[in-house]
Chain A
Amino acid sequence: MATDSQLAMWEVFMQSKPGANYIHAGSVHASDKEMALQNARDTYTRRGEGTSIWVVPSNAIVASNPDDNEMFFDPANDKVYRIPTFYVMPEGAKAI
């Protein structure tokens, strides 16, 4: 083999307790998905941090381009009608 390999990179997402969101924990190297999952377990759950793990090959992650940030994210800034406090409720109405 011409060059040494440190195996492919994977991104690790962990759920801290049942029902919680999966949050990016970090990365590991591994040659296959079984190894990636085990390496993620041995690296990121040593202190009981997780109840569930996802691993994804790093090269399968598609990231937005910071140059597109204005067109991607700024148009959402003025849509205040999506926020409940935008609405005026009649005095005395309950549980709404």
Chain B
Amino acid sequence: MEVLEKKNEIQDNLLKNFEAKIDRGDAIEPRDKMPDAYRKHLIRQMSQHAHSEVIGMQPEGNWITRAPSLRARQILLAKIQDEGGHGLYLYSAAETLGISRREMIEQLHSGKAKYSNIFNYPALTWADIGAIGWLVDGAAIVNQVSLQRTSYGPYSRAMVRICKEESFHQRQGYEIMAKMMKGTKDQQEMARDAMNRWWWPSLMMFGPHDSESPHTGDAVKWKIKRSSNDELRQKFIDKTVQQAEVIGLTIPDKDLKWNEAKKCYDHGPINWEEFYRVISGNGPCNKQRMAHHVKVHNDGAWVREAAEAYRQKKEKKIFH
């Protein structure tokens, strides 16, 4: 009985110390004591973030070989390469919490770990590359800027680097859209179509409304999440409306209007039925994206084995 009480007291003290640290605004580092729930939440969020970067390479990768100019091809390649790099930074940051990249990939393949829903939509025309850069990356960066102040040190450092690198992503997408809106009728049509298809899924990227979001409580208290889903979504809408106007694109929401009292835009209802349908596996590309990732992973296994075997042979040579 006494032992148990003692144990509880120690636990309580640990939690108190941890939360005091968070309240002071100190960063948590890998070797610091942290509640299990904090670690678990981070692993879930960071691995999902990393998987999103990597799966996100696919829809854009679909257009690399068809990019319409050398400049466009360079930009697109460099951008997709960045996504890969950002996946890598985030996997590495998550690995400091005691999970390996191999385990994270296994969880992705088994369906235990998720990736951002947005990548289950297809990139159908070249204008989609513009829309993805402008809207999808535009939405992502709003979230990522906020995460630069997340409480876990390695995650925060990864986000700082990612934000620095991503600053060109949204601009290149917007540039594509602007060029197409200034171009031929066909190009304008393509740009409008892409805008219409990507707008609502981009809003869904921020997740359910705050009133419906199951993970918000501890994540906010422990400063993993620094802003709520709705706050971030609002920020994205407010900055995007003007950008659309400048290039002559209409946002496909008839309820969208400026609210003078709240100093922000009101928007129409989001189709959450679609959101949950896509998240549960019935989006246009869920199976395709996962099959691609599994195939690449399996096709590369012999290469990784060879690299390991070669290292072992070389090490043996040194020791004998």
Main secondary structure of the interface of B (DSSP, over half): helix
| A46 contact set on B, CB distance < 8 A | 78, 81, 85
**CB distance B92 to A6 under 8 Å?**
no
Beyond A43-B85, A66-B32, is A3–B307 a contact (Cβ under 8 Å)? no
Report yes or no: B305 in contact with A5, Cβ–Cβ below 8 A. yes
Query: Do B92 and A27 have beta carbons less than 8 Å apart?
Result: yes
Q: A31-B307, A31-B311, A32-B310 are in contact. Are A43 and B102 (CB under 8 A)?
A: no
Interface string of B149-184 (1 = CB under 8 A from A): 000000000100100010000000000000000000
CB 8 Å contact bits of B290-320 with A (1 = contact, 0 = none): 0000000100010011011011001000000
Q: Which residue of B lies closest to A25 (CB)?
A: B161
Say how far A74's CB is from chain B's closest CB, in angstroms. Answer: 16
**Cβ contacts A50-70/B at 8 Å (1 or 0 each):** 000000000000010110000
CB distance from B291 to the nearest CB of A (A): 18
**B31–A6 touching, CB < 8 Å:** no
Select A65's contact among B31, B81, B100, beta carbons within 8 Å: B31
Do A6 and B311 form a contact, CB below 8 Å, given A1-B305, A26-B89, A65-B31? no
Dominant secondary structure of chain A at its interface with chain B: loop
In the assembled complex, the CB of A62 is this many whole angstroms from the nearest CB of chain B, namely 11
| A94 part of interface (Cβ distance < 8 Å) | no
Question: Looking at A31, A43, A47, A65, which has the most chain B CB atoms within 10 Å of its CB?
Answer: A31
* A5–B92 CB distance below 8 A: no
Given A5-B102, A6-B100, A32-B310, also A26-B305 (CB < 8 A): no
CB distance from A3 to the nearest CB of B (A): 7
Give A26 to B29 CA distance when docked, in angstroms. 14
25 pairs, CB–CB < 8 Å, chain A vs chain B: A1-B308, A3-B102, A4-B297, A5-B305, A7-B304, A9-B92, A26-B88, A26-B92, A27-B92, A27-B95, A29-B101, A31-B304, A31-B307, A31-B308, A31-B310, A31-B311, A32-B311, A32-B314, A35-B307, A43-B88, A46-B78, A46-B81, A47-B165, A63-B31, A66-B29
Known: A5-B102, A47-B165. 9 other contacts (CB 8 A): A1-B305, A4-B102, A26-B88, A26-B158, A29-B101, A31-B307, A31-B308, A31-B310, A32-B314
What residues of chain A have their CB less than 8 Å away from a CB belonging to chain B? 1, 3-7, 9, 26-29, 31-32, 35, 43, 46-47, 63, 65-66
